[in-house]
Structure 1
């Protein structure tokens, strides 16, 4: 572990960028291969959300424009990720899987850097990184793989790194403009993937603003930093403005991505009702993600005790110093972490609606639990250190890292809720039965519409493009839902589409279509949950 109790390694001295990246890449590949249903170990990622992103992203390559030609409500960068993935494979999630590995790698690298800010040894952050990844990505809120929350997670983690590093190492000096600009760019990427995680960066910039005023007494700098941060966010709007501007779709961009998301999903609740909903949703997520929140609790308890000890004078003549097992902590560091976490939770749940995967970005705060564990292990080693043992441990660091990665992989295989789906073969999956029927129908470029649910994956496996603006049945407010259903029914009444796929209930308004296939899907995780899929084909004229 190469610990020196008299002179700790500085971050610059202990970082090997290429080695850290390769280690995180290997770790990320192991974790994503096990935990994501986009991986080659799974027959197909049948999550409807991921398939809808894939359909929109793939359609962009054919000239269709999100929000103008296809209705879906995630950010343009999310669709761009899937567009790139479709360049690798148009009918499988191979491309998504590769990008997931890269996203996981960057999140792990940020976590490693955060641990390096607090820990004293060279090896410990590397040893703990696989355990951090295992804890984060085996959670229920990781869901099936390919979510917007998963792809914005690295930007949250790097924002966290910039923030904790500044308040640990530089405060009360004001944050440098280039770091503020970087924070704004990271916030912009989050905005264009899914903006309900922006509460993190609201707190991020608020801490910079007030720290500049209170710590550095730099009032002018504090206000300039706000504009620098917003400038960083503005930079991320340039690709969208160019793309939508050239396609005369800027108004559609704002109408669907901003207006529909704000007013189409949020519930009208009083402040007290919203606080009650946040409490209820958080307790549900804590129950569903026990390992994640246990680790977060360990970190919260440890950092709280560290803050308390910072107010208690220590006998300067003590042989064993407190900082061997307790991280020296400033009040502003503690407040910063609490603010980042608090506002992230607040904005995620403020709309009064929550789905299993919404709180995934909160998993980033697991890193502080591993900081606590690592610091305590280091302290125990420092207290028990024997002559020659340090050199021996340093020589064994590589073996320890690989052993921990193996343990993390085994734990992921036994913990991840997705692993039971590995037993499903393509030949057993209704989706491939439907695909084979459609492709063998003799219809060239078949036109499909997906009713009574989100994109079930038929667009993906048949490599077809939507023909209807509402290519799937969205979960929007009641008024808008009527518009969605009317438009979908028009496509069947006018016999524009060749096939209709319906989820969980028979399609309506399909008098001119024959029910040609019907299959059930039993969820391996919850056998009581059975979904039924219906495939209709237009009658021959």
Structure 2
């Protein structure tokens, strides 16, 4: 094991450098790629940019993720105003924490720094996998689930360290506090993932409440203290900006509506999550399933005398999976992919046992071979893991890579260049009936409209966003509009109120009356084959 501080520092720095190189190839936020054109990442960037320019999340700009995510993107914006390099640095830091704490978890069991480091390097393989982190031209990094991954790994580390020794439960105030703090950060990032923390700590709380009630009360106190701390600065901010009700309406109420199925109850939603979770992990992520399932079963068997630890690990994964799969998108599986570490630990333990059985052959020739391969084998192993991770991710093979030079000036930049030629006061824009495709990012514009993009909701579920965009267009709030359709005027709809059947045409009528087409750009990469139309208000 690594014992002195200098060795630990060198090891951690090496892991960070490895992770930075890995992320350089595996995320669209990297300088290697022309742009991160994933709409969700651009919406988060727009929210963070707005936050840093005085716009209040939920109140002035609408999106339904947690305020911690917007803070991350806001700081990223301060580093790079019209690109994702700042966000890339946060992604490197996030994945570095995943790798470092995976190493620390592995070291609790292997007692070998070299073996633990190799196990830790395998963890990003499944997190960054194609179909999960990248899905064709879609996705590409920067999701709240990605930033939740280190919080999951760190919580697992503190819980395992706490549960491994029953004596540690009595004196483990720091671990309790840390788990509470991480739980609070999870809630402010994406609150449904907090189901993981509930599953992780519920068995311990039940055990302590029955066996050692005084320690139970202390533990609850330390976890509660840690949990509350992240909320204090945000609640102060929300109070100053008068946005607490907006936070509740959007982040809590909207998300509960958005994630639910109409005319269903909690029991149905729970059963749906279980059904979807099993189906998705077996059908879409079968290799993940094999590694995680084998790892958890092996872990439970190996620690069969520690029932509290076993139940906590299993329940935390089960509740996390259910919370992620009620309404599922591929990147949401990223926090669950962290549990692959238990599979790698199981494979290592089996390898060690097999090696021990075969170690009877100790000829001088074998000793010489082991000595000669002492440096070559670790280097080759690291290169092999690195190459496999990048290849399994697959982003490097896409045309978005700067090396292809297909179009270093995509439609987002083309349209931004047109808008930025206008005077500063006229640099206002709205993407109509569209996800945030990156036009706000390229132009460096903070939206004037609260509903600056179209979330994945129906008119029946959330009519406000459709009606608000229509009203903003009628009022001419924005000088420029970006659409992915040519508008046409339908006179007979003018006297009709906007509804689920006519909202698209009503919006087209409003554009026809107040705006003129001035520029057309062909989409590339994520928007490949899509024509983008730029309209300017007629004054």
Q: TM-score, normalised by structure 2?
A: 0.85
User: Which of 217, 233, 238 is matched with 1:239 structurally?
Assistant: 233
C-alpha separation in 1, matches of 2:354 and 2:187: 43
Give the deviation of 1:373 after TM superposition: 1.6
Give the deviation of 1:379 after TM superposition: 2.7
Give the deviation of 1:277 after TM superposition: 4.9
User: Which of 476, 491, 504 is matched with 1:495 structurally?
Assistant: 476
C-alpha separation in 1, matches of 2:108 and 2:410: 47
C-alpha separation in 2, matches of 1:256 and 1:390: 65
User: Which of 189, 192, 202 is matched with 2:188 structurally?
Assistant: 192
The 5 Å alignment of 1:421-440 reads 421-422=400-401, 423=404, 425-427=406-408, 429-440=410-421
Please give the per-residue CA displacement for 1:95-152, whole angstroms capped at 9, x wherever unaligned: 1111100000001111111111111323101122222222222243324110001111
Q: In structure 2, what is the equivalent of residue 341 of structure 1?
A: 317
C-alpha separation in 2, matches of 1:373 and 1:57: 42
**Is the contact between residue 414 and residue 521 of structure 2 (CA under 8 Å) also seen in structure 1?**
no
Pair 1:371 & 2:373 matched: no
- CA change 1:140–1:494 in 2 (3 A) is same
User: Which of 142, 161, 165 is matched with 1:165 structurally?
Assistant: 161
Please give the per-residue CA displacement for 1:163-215, whole angstroms capped at 9, x wherever unaligned: 1222223468436222111110000011111111001100122122123245x
Please give the per-residue CA displacement for 1:449-507, whole angstroms capped at 9, x wherever unaligned: 11212211111111111101111122346456322122212222222212112247856
Give the deviation of 1:521 after TM superposition: 4.2
C-alpha separation in 1, matches of 2:350 and 2:293: 16
- Tell me the secondary structure at the aligned position of residue 467 of structure 1: coil
Using the TM superposition, name which of 286-295 and 338-347 deviates more.
Answer: 286-295
Unaligned runs of 5+ in 2: 134-138, 488-506
User: Which of 294, 299, 303 is matched with 1:298 structurally?
Assistant: 294
The 5 Å alignment of 1:130-529 reads 130-142=121-133, 143-170=139-166, 173-174=169-170, 176-213=172-209, 217-268=211-262, 269-270=264-265, 271-272=267-268, 274-303=270-299, 305-306=301-302, 330-349=306-325, 352-385=326-359, 386=362, 399-419=376-396, 420=398, 421-422=400-401, 423=404, 425-427=406-408, 429-440=410-421, 445-476=426-457, 478-479=459-460, 481-503=462-484, 508=508, 509-511=510-512, 512-519=514-521, 521=523
**Is the contact between residue 205 and residue 229 of structure 1 (CA under 8 Å) also seen in structure 2?**
no
C-alpha separation in 2, matches of 1:255 and 1:124: 48
C-alpha separation in 2, matches of 1:481 and 1:504: 22
C-alpha separation in 2, matches of 1:469 and 1:247: 15
Give the deviation of 1:25 after TM superposition: 0.4
C-alpha separation in 1, matches of 2:378 and 2:249: 49
The 5 Å alignment of 1:16-55 reads 16-55=7-46
C-alpha separation in 2, matches of 1:145 and 1:344: 20
Q: How many residues align?
A: 504
Using the TM superposition, name which of 397-406 and 181-190 deviates more.
Answer: 397-406
**Is the contact between residue 73 and residue 260 of structure 1 (CA under 8 Å) also seen in structure 2?**
yes
Q: In structure 2, what is the equivalent of residue 3 of structure 1?
A: none
- Tell me the secondary structure at the aligned position of residue 462 of structure 2: helix
Q: In structure 2, what is the equivalent of residue 317 of structure 1?
A: none
- CA change 1:437–1:348 in 2 (3 A) is same
Using the TM superposition, name which of 11-20 and 359-368 deviates more.
Answer: 11-20
C-alpha separation in 2, matches of 1:113 and 1:391: 32
Using the TM superposition, name which of 364-373 and 487-496 deviates more.
Answer: 487-496
**Is the contact between residue 450 and residue 502 of structure 1 (CA under 8 Å) also seen in structure 2?**
yes
C-alpha separation in 1, matches of 2:371 and 2:228: 46
Q: In structure 1, what is the equivalent of residue 79 of structure 2?
A: 88
**Is the contact between residue 29 and residue 84 of structure 2 (CA under 8 Å) also seen in structure 1?**
yes
- CA change 1:274–1:238 in 2 (3 A) is closer
Give the deviation of 1:77 after TM superposition: 0.8
**Is the contact between residue 139 and residue 289 of structure 1 (CA under 8 Å) also seen in structure 2?**
no
C-alpha separation in 1, matches of 2:169 and 2:238: 41
Using the TM superposition, name which of 408-417 and 391-400 deviates more.
Answer: 391-400
C-alpha separation in 1, matches of 2:226 and 2:42: 31
- CA change 1:393–1:462 in 2 (3 A) is farther
C-alpha separation in 2, matches of 1:195 and 1:455: 23
C-alpha separation in 2, matches of 1:362 and 1:433: 39
C-alpha separation in 2, matches of 1:154 and 1:395: 37
**Is the contact between residue 448 and residue 501 of structure 1 (CA under 8 Å) also seen in structure 2?**
yes
Give the deviation of 1:537 after TM superposition: 2.1
Give the deviation of 1:520 after TM superposition: 5.1
- Tell me the secondary structure at the aligned position of residue 165 of structure 2: helix
Q: In structure 2, what is the equivalent of residue 536 of structure 1?
A: 534
- Tell me the secondary structure at the aligned position of residue 256 of structure 1: helix
